[in-house]
A and B are shown apart, each in its own frame.
Chain A
Amino acid sequence: MTAPPQGHARVRIWDAPTRIFHWAIALLIPFLWWTAEEERLDLHIPAGLTMFGLILFRLLWGLVGSSTARFVSFVKGPWTVARYLAGRASPVIGHSPLGAFSVVAMLSALAAQVGLGLFASDEDGLFSGPLAHLVSYETSETLTDWHDRLFDLLLILIGLHLAAVLFYLIVRRRNLVLPMVTGAGEGEDAAMPMRPAPAWRFWIAATIAAGAALWIGGAFA
């Protein structure tokens, strides 16, 4: 066995729940777009509820998950971002201070998108989100409109995210995709290693998220 190059070792970066969440939403978003565009609301609504469960899980995991999944570990102030851009930030495992911005923006937009979807309905009153009955026809129309427009913002944020991944790959010669698949990648010795969360926390967070999605969807009615 040859020793890894100095200063870099293969370390764990993302835990399995964070990776599964990531690729699940990467698949679901095109599907949600397609089903909405084709007016397949019979598919869009269940997929949207799945998305609701996933987002809720990710928010919980951001509070109690492994260190690199937690908001407190990666959300940094503007000074840290500036130092990072100047190349003087202390080494980190996980999101860079700038990348964290994009993650927070995407998660917030997704949470808002899902929240609006719950109150959305088609103009003919045939299909509606599980909470649309709580608001009037007009309010539901307005929220559906926002739901439609916010998707454009979401596309822009996702575009920036993909552009950044490509930038790292081509200019910085760092592959960020592989660690999101395998969970491991090159780490810098000086950085804090990932502290994994115990499995029971995953089961609690996943049960809460799945339960809430099923409950809102009316499965226990």
Chain B
Amino acid sequence: MRKALLGAVTVAALIGIAACNRGEAPTPSNGASDSASSGSTGIIRERQSHYKDMGKASKAIADELRADTPSLPTVRENAQRLADYAPRILTWFPAGSGPEAGVRTRAKAEIWSDQEGFGRAAAGFITAAEQFNAIVKSGDVAAIRADRVELGKACSNCHDRFRAPERE
């Protein structure tokens, strides 16, 4: 009886904590005026739409690789898209397009305070995307499946350090 009660209270407390955590105020940049810097606004919107495009390409690849016999042309097309995007990433983050821009962006200030680290993450992704693209061209489905995991790590490697969560 005590134990059961303790269990119920623990669950209640956990849920309370969960609810509190989720109720926090949105990030400061959220909803701030767009007019602060219209140049950065365009830059931020554009890079976000490029990233969405990369997310789409990544899902398209994952969807195919789930199937017993993936459509290789679809995988090839999307792997090429990622490889084309990779070297452009570093040009998407000019000074002033960070959290201070006054637009909703999940780009963290660390991108500019640790430019070397950010550059390394971007370079790692270029290598990973090229390698993936080469393996996709080989047509070996098992190898493609295995290397997709490595490619995903290159995305996460940057996101973990330089991208703020969707919701805090």
Interface size on B, residues (CB 8 A): 33
Q: For residue A182, which residue of chain B has the nearest CB? A: B4
**Complex Cα spacing A177 to B163, Å:** 44
Given A126-B152, A133-B66, A177-B5, are A30 and B14 also a contact pair (CB < 8 Å)?
A: yes
**Contact, CB under 8 Å: A124 / B58:** yes
Q: For residue B56, which residue of chain A has the nearest CB? A: A137
**What 0/1 pattern do residues 166 to 187 of A give for CB contact below 8 A with B?**
1001000001011011000000
Q: Which one of B15-23, B37-45, B83-91, B134-142 contacts A?
A: B15-23
Q: For residue B155, which residue of chain A has the nearest CB? A: A124
**Which residues of B lie under 8 Å from residue A133 when comparing CB positions?**
62-63, 66-67
How big is the A interface, by class? Answer: 20 to 34
**Contact, CB under 8 Å: A175 / B56:** no
The answer to the question of B28 belonging to the interface, with a C-beta cut-off of 8 Å to chain A, is no
**Complex Cα spacing A98 to B19, Å:** 25
The answer to the question of B121 belonging to the interface, with a C-beta cut-off of 8 Å to chain A, is no
**Which residues of B lie under 8 Å from residue A124 when comparing CB positions?**
54-55, 58, 152, 155-156, 159
Question: A residues engaging B (CB < 8 A)?
Answer: 26, 30, 33, 37, 121, 123-126, 128, 132-133, 137, 140, 148, 152, 155, 158-159, 162, 165-166, 169, 175, 177-178, 180-181, 218, 221
Question: B residues engaging A (CB < 8 A)?
Answer: 1, 4-5, 7-8, 11-12, 14-15, 18-19, 21-22, 52, 54-63, 66-68, 152, 155-156, 159, 166-167
